[in-house]
């Protein structure tokens, strides 16, 4: 049997770090993490690391020749919705053109591609969504991910998986950005209240659970569309109300607002969320319930967890 050689792009982000931790328990896998920084942000990573800007197509090609991956997990992206809206050209270069190039190289070198996509592919008129529901993104970020999925399909590559996920939360080393859980904790710790949207429904996903699903896709050599997300569909407000007491805060510090008030510069799908039946039945994907995920995250954040 050929041992997997797994190349990860965008490995310094929340999901990339969770995936590296998960893959560290797979001794046969040879993992090469890549990101924009000169050195990795994950402190106890067990694989190798080299800097890689995925928009530098020549550098990506050279890495394919040097490392000869059997699988590429492509996470690198412009993932901030407002930034994509403000600079659509940069968003297209990173999210679409770089993905098309990686798909082309995967085909040429016989590697499997696992691409991270989003629930923001859907318009949020009628969620939760299954894999074969029709994408109709409402913002530039969602459109770029749809175009990237299409570019992979059109590349002629046969061994690919596009993984849609939703509102991922967790922690890592020196992460540049905050996520819904760490942002809420920062505000509540500072003694402030926290505004959360009552009208935006998502499938909140704990990063280590998503990483477990990604490992299964690589290991079982699965192709096609997969929704890897939490099992519960919640409004962002309900999610925060559920999380606050587990983290030891008063849930009344979570205050209701609307998505439009919080994010005036880029629309978001409202009635969203993802159905995960396919991943449950084909991969044995079992994301933990939100309260369990918050308790685990709280421990990692060093918070006094409520029993």
Ligand X SMILES: NC(=O)c1ccc[n+]([C@@H]2O[C@H](COP(=O)([O-])OP(=O)(O)OC[C@H]3O[C@@H](n4cnc5c(N)ncnc54)[C@H](OP(=O)(O)O)[C@@H]3O)[C@@H](O)[C@H]2O)c1
Q: Name the residues that contact ligand X, by CB under 6 A.
A: 9-10, 12-16, 35-36, 52-55, 75-79, 94, 116, 118, 165-168, 176-177
Closest separation between CB of residue 292 and ligand X, Å? 19
d(CA 180, CA 246): 15
**Residue 207 or residue 283: which is nearer to ligand X going by CB?**
207
Contacts (Cβ under 8 Å, ≥6 apart) of 281? none
**Residue 94 or residue 96: which is nearer to ligand X going by CB?**
94
d(CA 195, CA 297): 21
Which residue of the chain is nearest ligand X when measured via CB?
13
Residue whose token pair is 């699988």:
71
**Residue 250 or residue 300: which is nearer to ligand X going by CB?**
300
Closest separation between CB of residue 275 and ligand X, Å? 15
Closest separation between CB of residue 138 and ligand X, Å? 15
**Residue 80 or residue 193: which is nearer to ligand X going by CB?**
80
Helices (runs of H) and strands (runs of E) counted in the chain: 12, 13
**Residue 34 or residue 70: which is nearer to ligand X going by CB?**
34
Closest separation between CB of residue 93 and ligand X, Å? 8
d(CA 180, CA 133): 26
Closest separation between CB of residue 212 and ligand X, Å? 15
Closest separation between CB of residue 52 and ligand X, Å? 6
> Residue 115 in contact with residue 152, Cβ under 8 Å?
yes
Contacts (Cβ under 8 Å, ≥6 apart) of 56? none
**Residue 24 or residue 36: which is nearer to ligand X going by CB?**
36
**Residue 204 or residue 298: which is nearer to ligand X going by CB?**
204
Closest separation between CB of residue 250 and ligand X, Å? 26
Terminal Cα-to-Cα distance of the chain (whole angstroms): 46
d(CA 261, CA 135): 25
Closest separation between CB of residue 141 and ligand X, Å? 7
d(CA 77, CA 79): 5
Burial class (CB in 10 A: 0-12, 13-18, 19+), 26: middle
Name the 3-class secondary structure at 273.
coil
Which of 176, 235, 210, 208 shows the shortest CA–CA distance to 299? 208
> Residue 240 in contact with residue 183, Cβ under 8 Å?
no
**Residue 173 or residue 255: which is nearer to ligand X going by CB?**
173
Name the 3-class secondary structure at 212.
helix
Handedness of CA 75, 237, 212, 249 (dihedral sign): positive
């Amino acid at each position: 049997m050929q041992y997997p050689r797994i190349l990860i792009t965008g490995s310094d982000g929340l999901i990339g770090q969770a995936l590296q931790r998960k893959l560290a328990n797979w001794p046969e896998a040879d993992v090469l993490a890549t990101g924009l920084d000169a050195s990795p942000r994950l402190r106890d990573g067990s694989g190798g690391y080299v800097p890689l800007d995925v928009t530098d197509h020549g550098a990506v090609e050279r890495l394919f020749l040097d490392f000869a991956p059997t699988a590429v997990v492509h996470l690198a992206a412009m993932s901030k919705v407002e930034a994509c809206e403000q600079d659509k050209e940069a968003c297209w270069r990173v999210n679409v053109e770089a993905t098309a190039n990686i798909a082309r190289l995967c085909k040429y070198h016989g590697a499997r591609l696992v691409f991270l996509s989003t629930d923001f592919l859907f318009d949020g008129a009628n969620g939760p969504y299954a894999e074969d529901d029709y994408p109709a993104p409402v913002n530039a970020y969602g459109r770029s991910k749809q175009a990237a999925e299409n570019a992979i399909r059109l590349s002629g590559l046969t061994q690919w998986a596009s993984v849609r996920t939703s509102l991922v939360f967790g922690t890592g080393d020196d992460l540049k950005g905050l996520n819904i859980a760490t942002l809420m904790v920062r505000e509540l710790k500072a003694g402030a209240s926290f505004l959360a949207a009552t009208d935006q429904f998502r499938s909140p996903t704990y990063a280590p659970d998503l990483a477990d699903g990604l490992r299964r896709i690589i290991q079982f050599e699965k192709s096609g569309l997969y929704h890897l997300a939490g099992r519960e569909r919640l409004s962002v407000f309900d999610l925060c109300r559920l999380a606050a007491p587990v983290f030891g805060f008063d849930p009344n510090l979570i205050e209701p607002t609307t998505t439009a008030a919080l994010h005036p510069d880029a629309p978001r799908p409202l009635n969203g969320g993802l159905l995960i039946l396919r991943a449950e039945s084909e991969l044995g994907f079992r994301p933990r319930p939100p309260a369990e995920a918050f308790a685990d995250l709280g421990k990692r954040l060093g918070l006094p967890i409520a029993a």
